[in-house]
Amino acid sequence: MEATNDDAGLTLEFENLHLGEEPKIESNFKGFKLFLPAVSVGNVGQLAMDLLLSNLPEKSPPVKIGRMFHPSLEPVVGLDIHTQNGLMTSCEVFLVKELQYVIIHFHSPVTMKGRTEFVNSLVEWIGKQKFSQVVCFTSIFAEDRIDPQLVGIPFRYLATDGTPELLTQMLQDLEWKQLEKRQFPAPAVMDNTEKNDNEGVLHLPGSGITKLLYEECQLQKIPFLALIMFASEGDNTPEAMTMFQMADRIFGFRKSTSTNQDISPGGRDRMIVPISWTHLGEHNHSSSLY
């Protein structure tokens, strides 16, 4: 079964992935939440999405329902990293019907030349599905921070005006900081003029399609929330764990009864490490690969 948007070039192909039983696909996902990563610095968003897929309640496992195709997605194919059976492609779609989640997982980036076309196509599809909330896991370069961003957890968020009041209130109650706008050229250090947080432009270096997604969702009045980690290239599993736990505090992926979960390294012991992380950072690759 296929859902195709020929004008935009975006194709969502629903597949039979249940041992001969046709999966029951909603005609649309009205009221569902959509989670997706941006291919960004350190792959933090993708790693956090691995954690989400691995740490959902056992009674609500994610089910792969299809794949998304677009000319601007870099092609990739390999062993399915979650089931270890079948093939993985550039962009896969999962359904968690019990929790009303749809999860899009990118395994390859969008070409620079095709970013605008891809985002327009994706947001058009999102709008037609009538999701109640879109949540993007992403990251930006840590070395590009300004002074206020050097203190506390290296985390910010970005929300469109259409974000539901309940979620907006939760963000305020948690005292999370929205990503500061930047002024170019930067004001002088000794400049005593009063600064307005609404002045300047959004600056998200290394965040892939995040800014385009935010701007297009803002234009289309789609509720969009970007969770942003400051990161550098390297082993970014700690940043991914922190991002997952931050998101868990809002959406309760693991149905924790705690409202103040520990996001320090010592608080990660209950987290299930994704099987896709098995060979991360290894210099000597397993012979099973060959």
Give the model confidence (pLDDT) of 85-113 as tens digits. Answer: 788 889 999 999 999 999 999 999 999 99
Can you tell me the distance from the alpha carbon of 54 to that of 33, in angstroms, rounded to the nearest whole number? 18
Can you tell me the distance from the alpha carbon of 151 to that of 204, in angstroms, rounded to the nearest whole number? 18
Residue by residue, DSSP assigns 145-181 as --GGGGSSSSEEEEE-TTS-HHHHHHHHHTTPPBPPP
Phi-psi region of 252 (alpha: psi -120 to 50; beta: other; left: phi over 0): left
What pLDDT shows up at residue 174? Answer: 93
Write out pLDDT tens, residues 207-227.
999 999 999 999 999 999 999
Give the SS3 label for residue 96. strand
Can you tell me the distance from the alpha carbon of 159 to that of 2, in angstroms, rounded to the nearest whole number? 31
Structure tokens at 175: 């005292």
Close Cβ partners of 234 (under 8 Å, ≥ 6 residues apart): 42
Residues 152-179, mean pLDDT to the nearest whole number? 92
**More confidently predicted of 39 and 59:** 39
Q: In this model, does residue 264 exceed pLDDT 80?
A: no
- Name residue 27's amino acid: S
Q: Of 27-41, 141-155, 208-222, 273-287, where does mean pLDDT reach its minimum?
A: 273-287
Residue spans per domain, the chain: 2-276
Query: Would you place residue 45 in the very low, low, confident or very high pLDDT band (cuts 50, 70, 90)?
Result: very high
Which pTM value belongs to this model?
A: 0.84
Close Cβ partners of 13 (under 8 Å, ≥ 6 residues apart): 1, 2, 3, 66, 67, 68, 69
Q: In this model, does residue 22 exceed pLDDT 50?
A: no
Can you tell me the distance from the alpha carbon of 242 to that of 232, in angstroms, rounded to the nearest whole number? 15
Can you tell me the distance from the alpha carbon of 63 to that of 50, in angstroms, rounded to the nearest whole number? 14
Looking at domain 2-276, its CATH class is alpha beta
